[in-house]
Amino acid sequence: MTLQNKHILIGITGGIAAYKICTLIRDFKKSGAEVKVICTPNSLNFVTKLTLQNLSQNEVYIQEFDVKNWKPEHISLADWADIMLIAPATANTISKIAQGIADNLLTSVACAFSKKIIIAPAMNVNMWNNPSVQANLKTLHKRGIEYLPPENGFLACGYVAKGRLCSLEKIYNAVEEALNYSDSLKGKKVVITSGGTIEEIDPVRYISNYSSGKMGLALAKSAYDMGAEVVLISTKDFDCPFKLVKVKSALDMQKAVVEEYNSTDYIIMAAAVADYRIKNFSKQKIKKGLEETITLEFVKNPDILAELSNKKSENEIKPIIVGFCAESENLIENAREKIARKGCDYLVANDISRKDIGFGSDENEVTILNKNGEIKKLEKASKNVIAREILEWISTK
Ligand code: CTP
């Protein structure tokens, strides 16, 4: 990945974390990027124009009507940039952008910006928890603006709580990743399943598994960033800029995926589907009796992945089917057996004996197999990086 010759537009708003952005500008410059900075007038209480000018080696933009050429500044800056990063982003600026308010140069550029925007909020914990701020963030996120949540730590206001700007490394990586997306999924439709299915026992009880849905979500976000139309079929609720179909059981999931089958290019089954469901769902809450032990009877769920892999398409083109497998031993051997048995085009194998990756974790390390027996090991990385690498492999191999 490289930042060579990329145009990064940084918006700095009025928070104490503004001083940290000086280091980030230097890091971007060292990597070969061109950087321009827009400051809100309040941000200059925390960092000087001269510092930012020296570090970015460019003029610093503050006022909307400092007209230097025929094109309004907010349009020429938006045209110039490959990406816009707003860091630190205050509650005020986040809320204005979400509502389409364009009352200074920074918010006007954000309003006119049609490419990727990443925001890194930083504020007092009570402001962060304010329902309006959270609702505005949700709105932005739904529209495809990525945000990097603040972290816990010492806040300038004296609190030790959530609100501190996330690490500069996280911001740098998010910008670098966003600028290096391939568009190999442009014009394609990708359907992804995520989360552990929920098999109900009675109105208050169910069985499920530890799947957090994070890998499926990371795949969905990456596919979206790579230009695909995305449908995420999930047992977990997420705010996302693409279509989310919320399901519970394996049978619900099967129905939702089959509905998409004839109109999609890829189906990625990242969900942890229960192999069995309760045979007799009790409409009433099961009462405790005198018995010391009880027995529940289960029936087999359909194997959605195997069914899809063997299904006949109504169109000429069958979607490419990708499965995931979770193995606690003999990873490659079991994965080879599973891809042959299920008949999918690719299988992404996870080693669940490792505590540092996989279930619930933000990181993963996987091996991808294809039908022809080719294998690719993806080194340990964030689920976002792994997701992009999986998508790049399956869309080009
Ligand atoms: N899968 C599915 N339907 C099921 C069970 C699993 O579609 N009823 C899919 C999962 O979404 C995953 C793949 O099959 O993409 C492999 O899941 P895994 O649990 O590893 O495979 P199983 O067939 O359940 O094999 P086992 O549990 O015996 O290892």
* Cα–Cα distance measured from residue 108 to residue 87, given in angstroms and rounded to the nearest whole number: 16
298 assigned to some structural domain: yes
Least confident piece of the model among 16-30, 150-164, 259-273:
150-164
Residues 127 and 197 in one domain: no
> What residues are labeled active site?
157
Q: Indicate if the pLDDT at residue 112 is higher than 80.
A: yes
Structure tokens at 97: 């952008």
What residue's CA is closest to ligand 1, atom 8? 303
Backbone angles phi, psi at 383, to 5 degrees: -60, -30
Residues 151 and 203 in one domain: no
Sign of CA dihedral 73, 75, 81, 84: positive
| DSSP of 220-284 | HHHHHHTT-EEEEEESS----SSEEEE--SHHHHHHHHHHHGGG-SEEEE-SB--SEEESS--SS
Residues 169 and 242 in one domain: no
CB distance 325 to ligand 1 below 6 Å: yes
Q: Indicate if the pLDDT at residue 93 is higher than 90.
A: yes
CB distance 192 to ligand 1 below 6 Å: no
- Total domains in the chain come to 2
305 assigned to some structural domain: yes
Structure tokens at 232: 């995420």
pLDDT digits (tens, 9 = 90+) for 285-295: 999 999 999 99
40 exposure class (CB count in 10 Å sphere: 0-12, 13-18, 19+) = buried
The closest alpha carbon to 117, from 13, 259, 10, 194, belongs to 10
pLDDT digits (tens, 9 = 90+) for 319-363: 999 999 988 899 999 999 999 999 999 999 988 887 776 666 778
**What is the rounded average pLDDT of the residues 10-17?**
96
Final residue before a domain boundary, out of 179, 197, 231: 179
2 assigned to some structural domain: no
Taking the CA of residue 305 as reference, the ligand 1 atom at the shortest distance is 7
- HSE, CB side, 13 Å, CA atoms: give it for residue 284: 3
CA 317 to centroid of ligand 1, rounded, Å: 24
The answer to whether 149 touches 121, Cβ cutoff 8 Å, is yes
Given this model, what pLDDT does residue 70 score? 65
Given this model, what pLDDT does residue 358 score? 64
CA 316 to centroid of ligand 1, rounded, Å: 27
Please indicate whether residue 352 or residue 275 has the higher confidence score (pLDDT): 275
Final residue before a domain boundary, out of 125, 154, 179: 179
Residues 112 and 249 in one domain: no
High-pLDDT (> 70) share of the chain, %: 97
Going from the C-alpha of 96 to that of each of 132, 140, 354, the distances in angstroms are 11, 10, 44
The answer to whether 390 touches 383, Cβ cutoff 8 Å, is no
Residues 212 and 170 in one domain: no
Residues 95 and 24 in one domain: yes
Q: Which residues, in sequence order, are bridge partners of residue 346?
A: 322, 370
258 assigned to some structural domain: yes
CB distance 331 to ligand 1 below 6 Å: no
Final residue before a domain boundary, out of 155, 179, 203: 179
Structural domain including 15 reads 7-179
CATH number (domain holding residue 209): 3.40.50.10300
CB distance 339 to ligand 1 below 6 Å: no
The answer to whether 124 touches 152, Cβ cutoff 8 Å, is no
If one residue of 273, 351, 353 were mutated to test the ligand 1 pocket, choosing by the most ligand atoms within 8 A of its CB, it would be 273
Given this model, what pLDDT does residue 202 score? 97
CA 77 to centroid of ligand 1, rounded, Å: 49
1 assigned to some structural domain: no
Given this model, what pLDDT does residue 356 score? 73
* Cα–Cα distance measured from residue 172 to residue 134, given in angstroms and rounded to the nearest whole number: 24
